[in-house]
Structure 1
């Protein structure tokens, strides 16, 4: 945790090595308790969500056959947007984490599931499950942190190209599934040299991604619009809108999980020789939650409990709400900050950080100081 020890206000400076390992033991106990309890109610939950999602998608696509009429377009587009969000967030993401593998149901298993997304499931599982969850918020190792295109920490060297990162981030939000497919391929690194471009494994993965994208686009932008007959263009627009809504929502939720103020980042060398307790601590400090009601938690795939998800990525997502108070109690007992807040606050915090880190450190600090002085003068004269 050396990157934290360089900070003036070290959030873990008061913890002893024994404290950190005790935190790990207590979190292991929480996990073991849920594993022992998994059963019929959990299986019923995921099967119900899958059933609701499929019925909603089918009914929405049926309504869009009449999308020439504005009410049908609005209802169908809204329903399809929700269905796509549910499929990606609460179903696809969590099934591919292996959260339901214990059911031994081949239809709901991480090795068999293919999702409604541009990135093939096996490539996503490598970049997300194996890399992101192993190297959470480690700068230069975790591509999910800034998606490999943004400056994410003050210690990263600034160069003028970062001035455009708010624009890149907006474009990435709108086309998020393709952005994920690109960095699952590590496209920038692999296109940088002739040797990497010609690598047979990279070529094979690229063909797999292009095949997946072709199938997705054929389904949403050819077959379904053609079935709509006179409503072809309206249905095509509805499908495009639903995809953008899904992409922006997923991007926002994921940004809230690792990018708001109060979330820590880590240097590569800080994880050398990392113990189980230190790995848990990095997940705790490198993640943030979103507060809200049950419907919102389902729509986020329960990634509104991002802290709990990063501690226990293979536990059923419906259990995160149950264990969150136990996890928060450990934070409080050991004097750690449990970062959480409503969705608008967390989204605003994440975007503010995107803008702040797009500027040189000195410029951003001076700008903040000027704003503070101006507010002080306004209060003094009020």
Structure 2
């Protein structure tokens, strides 16, 4: 099965000019199957999927699909071969700005308890600055570094194998669930757990159950506590709880080790934000310990909601396709590219907004080239859009408010079962609840 364009590695002893030409784009733990294993185009795609929904690529011939792959390969090579001082200066500037912003905001928060005419200006300024700093660290810096986008620079401080981010999820576990699983099986039902994170039904082809009736409520809760939800997701907590009775002792031991790693990471994060910095504020004798604590809580909430919003806008809006498990068997390079384009959506906006999203506002381009430096996505986006339009493929794009609203409405709609001709939704819900109650009652005896 083809999962991504070929990736080249560079020996640690390679000369600098060689390292600049070829990307060392295989972060520790990256799926070794991210390479081409099939070059034979498959038969014409059917007009409809098994669910009866239209296949957005049905009009393309196998030759056209492979032609798309060739064109996208050429674009990738052009950009990756041109990386250099401009790109290195960009990421170093972003890191420098983020660090100064965080340090400055935390210094301001030392006086967050001081009131001026009934208002605490230091609290508002410090909280806003810290929120932006945390967003930058997670989105444009941490996420992209851990994708290996900057490994070619051979700087050990910003290498994918060494970076640990300001987040509850340990980087090693995140790289496994995100780089290996999500980017390998993008939007494949039953394989890509990012498709609703196991708690949301975001596509009509996902099976409905009474569990999803309340998803509009916990969708909001998931956004507020997103870093902890992702930590539990990366840990595969749900799978462990469901299968622990059937797991071997070795599997249980591995889960316990991973769980300890998560707990230790959360402790470190909580100690820094909720103990150390409030204590430093207390030492200033300005009565700012409590206000510094609340500022850190608010900054983390803002970061969580923003990150969640950006991610759902790139993966769940209407018009984004999903794929069946069997559809990726024997997948060619062109078909892999096609799946990435159809399974992602973009957010339009200003350059500042793109930076604040970690350039995941260019989610289509990111899924095509996850290890390409993020500052290059904006320049290739028009060419990718032109390619898709020439082949009559939907380039899903909209502003942040439009995309976010469409996802929230979709979450509400898909909390109910699909409409079935001749049956009312409420009857389907009532019958399902009755079966679930009966099954639960029988399990007691």
TM interval, shorter chain, is over 0.9
Give 1:282's match in structure 2, choosing from 313, 335, 339: 339
For the pair 1:53 / 2:104, whether they are aligned, the reply is no
Structure 1 distance, partners of 2:48, 2:355, is 33
Structure 2 distance, partners of 1:258, 1:52, is 29
Q: Deviations over 1:145-204 (max 9, x none)?
A: 111111122232322121111111111100000010001011011122234495111111
> 1:2 touches 1:267 (CA, 8 Å); kept in 2?
no
2:37 corresponds to which residue?
A: none
Q: State the TM-score, normalized to the length of structure 2.
A: 0.80
Q: Deviations over 1:127-147 (max 9, x none)?
A: 000000000011221121111
> 2:168 touches 2:265 (CA, 8 Å); kept in 1?
yes
Rate the CA distance shift 1:116–1:2 in 2: closer, same or farther, 3 A: farther
1:258 corresponds to which residue?
A: 315
> 1:3 touches 1:267 (CA, 8 Å); kept in 2?
no
For residues 128-207 of structure 1, the aligned pairs below 5 Å read 128-192=178-242, 193-196=244-247, 199-207=252-260
Give 2:89's match in structure 1, choosing from 41, 44, 67: 44
Q: Deviations over 1:82-123 (max 9, x none)?
A: 000000000000000000000000001000000000000010
For residues 277-316 of structure 1, the aligned pairs below 5 Å read 277-316=334-373
Structure 1 distance, partners of 2:180, 2:402, is 30
For residues 1-382 of structure 1, the aligned pairs below 5 Å read 5-6=49-50, 7-69=52-114, 70-192=120-242, 193-196=244-247, 199-229=252-282, 230-362=287-419
Structure 1 residue 4: deviation in Å? 5.5
Structure 2 distance, partners of 1:274, 1:27, is 16
Q: Deviations over 1:3-61 (max 9, x none)?
A: 95344533111100000000011001000000110000000000000000000000000
Structure 1 distance, partners of 2:211, 2:298, is 30
> Which has more radius of gyration?
2
Tell me which moved more, 55-64 or 264-273. 264-273
Structure 1 residue 2: deviation in Å? 6.7
Rate the CA distance shift 1:195–1:287 in 2: closer, same or farther, 3 A: same
2:5 corresponds to which residue?
A: none
Structure 1 distance, partners of 2:142, 2:62, is 37
> 1:146 is paired with a residue of what secondary structure?
coil
Q: Structure 2: where are the runs of 5+ without partners? A: 1-44, 115-119, 426-445
Structure 2 distance, partners of 1:140, 1:3, is 22
Rate the CA distance shift 1:255–1:2 in 2: closer, same or farther, 3 A: farther
Question: Looking at both structures, which has the greater relative contact order when contacts are Cα pairs under 8 Å and sequence separation is at least 6?
Answer: 1
2:7 corresponds to which residue?
A: none
Structure 2 distance, partners of 1:309, 1:58, is 30
Larger proportion of helix? 1
Structure 2 distance, partners of 1:36, 1:335, is 29
Over the residues paired in the alignment, what is the CA RMSD in angstroms? 1.7
> 2:110 is paired with a residue of what secondary structure?
helix
